[in-house]
Amino acid sequence: YRLGLSFEQISQKIPSLGASQGRFSLLRHEGVQYIDDTYNAAPFAVLKAIENIPKPKGKGRKLALLGDMMELGSNCDHEHEEVLQLALKELDLVITLGKSFKKAASQHFPKEENIKSYESFDEALTSLQSKVKPGDSVLVKGARVFKLERVFKQLALGEYGH
């Protein structure tokens, strides 16, 4: 009310507000729906992001490029394992970037073919590019240290929200 707007006026405008870049923003490019959630990655946020990947169209798949979560202390191994467990239930393919996810994958899911782990951004991006198909939904999320927003610059994606 301090802005001189009624509750009704405010509530009518809320649906038109878009997400900030890097905070579960939807992008579409060449038939693929990307979810840019690159701002940061705490365990709870990663789990919720995985659970909320939009359903792909048609025969599309759910994929994720996940960078390690940082500053987890003694819970590091457990948190990465927990994320991978959920990812394997919810997603068709998980591409990971970083030593912690790579360790969790090799220790807890050594024979799992739907996890591809890398320590290099370029290798992870190349893997993503080779696997993604029109109709897929792809979550990109990881700690700031990985600067995963580079994925969208590398793919030269279109505008946010379209």
Helix axes 43-51, 76-90, angle to 10 degrees: 0
Q: What is the pTM of this model?
A: 0.80
pLDDT at 1: 47
Of 46, 44, 91, 89, the residue nearest 67 (C-alpha): 46
| Burial call 143-156: b when 16+ CB within 10 Å, e when fewer | beebebbebbeebe
pLDDT at 158: 41
Of 44, 38, 5, the residue nearest 20 (C-alpha): 38
Taking the chain (162 residues) in consecutive chunks of 10 residues, what is each chunk's mean pLDDT? 64 55 70 85 90 88 92 90 95 95 93 93 90 93 81 59 35
pLDDT tens digits, 48-64:
999 989 888 789 999 99
